[in-house]
Structure 1
Amino acid sequence: MTNFALKVTRLGFSLLQSVSPRIAGKAAFRLFCMTPSAKPKGDKAKAAHAAGASKLAGAERFTLRLAGGGKAHAYRLNGGALGRRPRYLVTHGWGSSSAYMADLLETLAASGAEVIAVDFPGHGRAAGRVLHMGMAVKAIEAAERRFGAFDAAIGHSFGGAALMVAASGMLPGVRAVVPEKLTLIGSPSEMHWLFKDFGKMIGLRRKAQDVLEKEVRRVTGRRLEEFDASKAAGAIRRPVLIVHAEDDKEVSHIHARRYAAAGDTVRLYWANGFGHRRIVAARPVFDAITGFLGEGAVDKDAEIIPLFELPARRMSL
């Protein structure tokens, strides 16, 4: 938000919560879930988007219907080939799209893999202006339902956290999507801090803040504090690569360290110097990811335990 827009927003919420903290909290949640315009702003963003869109011009396009309503968009590279080949899923961050991930998509496709890239609702070519974690997880489930099981999934920022939430089987009524390997790039390990920062930014007081956070349970079936993806990283018993930059100013490096502490199946690769956004277009990052994906076969017979069925002792870091 611009400074003027933020001042107006804070004033509006100050007045609203004085009348009804409940209404203010619900309104804050709707604002929290509102996605930015899909049109790039600024010369750099426009150039990056145009370049990415050009690289995806030849990709197949699909509409994904989400369980319970809503739609996402998907691109497929190397689709329809004869014979078995690896199938990779790629998800973007908040306010981004598959177009901004095009360099990574090209790199993965060059390995011969079938590559599926999803635009979440309200992003890229997907319609709407609303997105929350529940919708993102349903979009991931819809992608697997449409294209089949994934050998690996790679997600940036919010998209990486959504992959881990999907793999944990956290959402009631939504089937877990557990790829053989996962890579999370600059991804948050939990979301409580984000809601606290948002509430502070728009000036919510305690009662309205409580309502804001309780809205998460209403729309997803899980409490906000249950969305701890770092616990899932060790619980799913699949190899996980965490790629993060210590100079990331949007998602603290603390999140990467929490993931790394989750278990022996998780490894951490520091991509220092690339921040939060340039990291998805960095050649050293591509090399780390393709190297990880190209390692030996995964034991597909290993037992998968949904996160919320684990004994309490397995839930601790």
Structure 2
Amino acid sequence: MAKFVLEVTRLGFSLMQTVSPHLAGEAAFRLFCRTPSVKPKGGKAKAAHAAGVARLAGAERFLLPVEGRRAHAYRLNGGAIGRRKRYLVTHGWGSGMTYMADLVTMLADTGAEVIGLDFPGHGRAGGRFLHMGLAVKAIAAAEARFGRFDAVIGHSFGGAALMVSASAILPDVKPVSAERMVLIGSPSEMQWLFTDFGRMLRLKPSAQAALENVVQRITGRRLEDFDAGKTAAGIGKPVLVIHAEDDKEVSAAHARRYAASGGQVRLSWANGFGHRRIISAAPVLGKVAAFLAEEDIKKPAEIIPIFELPARRASV
């Protein structure tokens, strides 16, 4: 948010919360859920987007209804005769499948059927609105349309949405039933995002509480219930967590929380790739492919470095 726009927004919320903390909280939630424009900004983003569009040009496309909105799905290797693995890929906030094309096409090259899901408000889905509840329902819509997934792979917000789904945190939404999961640069809980957002807008405690209460009203669960770091071990399936300690958008502490949950959770560091380059880095793609190719995983949680670089702790 540009500095001038942020100052004007802060002034508006300052006045609004003085009159009604409840209305300020409601307005803050709508702003929190507003997604960025899908148009790439800057030369690098435009080049990455164009390359992704070209790589996905041959994919089938589907629109999936999601609670009055819609998600969009790409399908590669669909309709082939014979049993093959089926994978679902989800993206981060403000991203989309065109930016995940290296990962999607790598998975398709293994012979698997691959579904790349654009959440509402992203990619080809249209709209400018998304929250975790809608994302989880989009995942359920994808499974209902294409069938059960052998594995699900998500980056950032998309990884968190997959874990929320698999953990059955949302009532009345069928959890994704994949046999294994890959989370790349993904947050383990959501409270920090709301806290940082409220601090950015300079919300008072009463308005902050109203903002967080909207989550419970629309999802049926309190904000603190969205803690995938506590539920990861309980889903009973292998989970590979890949994270960079130099990730400046999602702290490496989230990866450590996942790893500390135990169970069949593995942590693999990909230092040097930050938050965005990690999804197309060759060592990361190789680690994902190797993990999905394993027949059975019975090892306890372990740390598996992709390669050695000086450890750097990232800030949120």
TM-score bracket for the superposition, by shorter chain length:
over 0.9
1:280, distance to aligned residue in structure 2 (A):
0.5
Match of 2:305 in 1: none
Does 1:73 pair with 2:72?
A: yes
Quote the Cα distance in structure 1 between the aligned partners of 2:167 and 2:260: 17
1:169, distance to aligned residue in structure 2 (A):
1.1
Match of 2:7 in 1: 7
Asked if structure 2 preserves the Cα contact closer than 8 Å seen for 1:33 and 1:130, the reply is yes
Match of 2:314 in 1: none
1:204-239 Cα offsets, whole Å, 9 max, x none, are 010000000010011111000000011221011000
Give the AA of the match of 1:234.
Answer: A
1:69, distance to aligned residue in structure 2 (A):
2.4
Asked if structure 1 preserves the Cα contact closer than 8 Å seen for 2:236 and 2:263, the reply is no
SS in 2 for 1:242: strand
Match of 1:24 in 2: 24
1:195, distance to aligned residue in structure 2 (A):
0.2
1:297, distance to aligned residue in structure 2 (A):
4.0
Match of 2:195 in 1: 196
Match of 1:37 in 2: 37
TM-score (norm 2): 0.93
1:298, distance to aligned residue in structure 2 (A):
6.7
Does 1:233 pair with 2:227?
A: no
Q: Structure 2, unaligned stretches of length 5 or more?
A: 299-316
Alignment of 1:34-183 (within 5 A): 34-66=34-66, 68-183=67-182
What is the alpha-carbon root mean square deviation over aligned residues?
0.9
1:127, distance to aligned residue in structure 2 (A):
1.5
SS in 1 for 2:99: helix
Quote the Cα distance in structure 2 between the aligned partners of 1:63 and 1:187: 26
Asked if structure 2 preserves the Cα contact closer than 8 Å seen for 1:189 and 1:228, the reply is yes
Quote the Cα distance in structure 2 between the aligned partners of 1:69 and 1:3: 34
SS in 2 for 1:190: coil
| Range with bigger deviation, 150-159 or 163-172 | 163-172
1:171-191 Cα offsets, whole Å, 9 max, x none, are 111111121000000000000
1:92-137 Cα offsets, whole Å, 9 max, x none, are 0000000000000111001000000000000000021110000000
Match of 2:250 in 1: 251
1:66-86 Cα offsets, whole Å, 9 max, x none, are 2x3221000000111010000
Q: Structure 1, unaligned stretches of length 5 or more?
A: 300-317
1:65, distance to aligned residue in structure 2 (A):
1.3
Asked if structure 2 preserves the Cα contact closer than 8 Å seen for 1:167 and 1:232, the reply is no
SS in 2 for 1:267: strand
Quote the Cα distance in structure 1 between the aligned partners of 2:149 and 2:28: 36
| Range with bigger deviation, 265-274 or 13-22 | 13-22
Match of 1:186 in 2: 185
SS in 2 for 1:264: coil
Match of 2:221 in 1: 222
SS in 1 for 2:116: strand
| Range with bigger deviation, 235-244 or 165-174 | 165-174
Quote the Cα distance in structure 2 between the aligned partners of 1:172 and 1:88: 24
1:190-210 Cα offsets, whole Å, 9 max, x none, are 000100000000110100000
Quote the Cα distance in structure 1 between the aligned partners of 2:151 and 2:265: 14
Give the AA of the match of 2:132.
Answer: M
TM-score (norm 1): 0.93
SS in 1 for 2:232: helix
Give the AA of the match of 2:51.
Answer: A
1:264, distance to aligned residue in structure 2 (A):
2.8
Give the AA of the match of 2:80.
Answer: A
SS in 2 for 1:170: coil
**Percent identity over the alignment?**
68
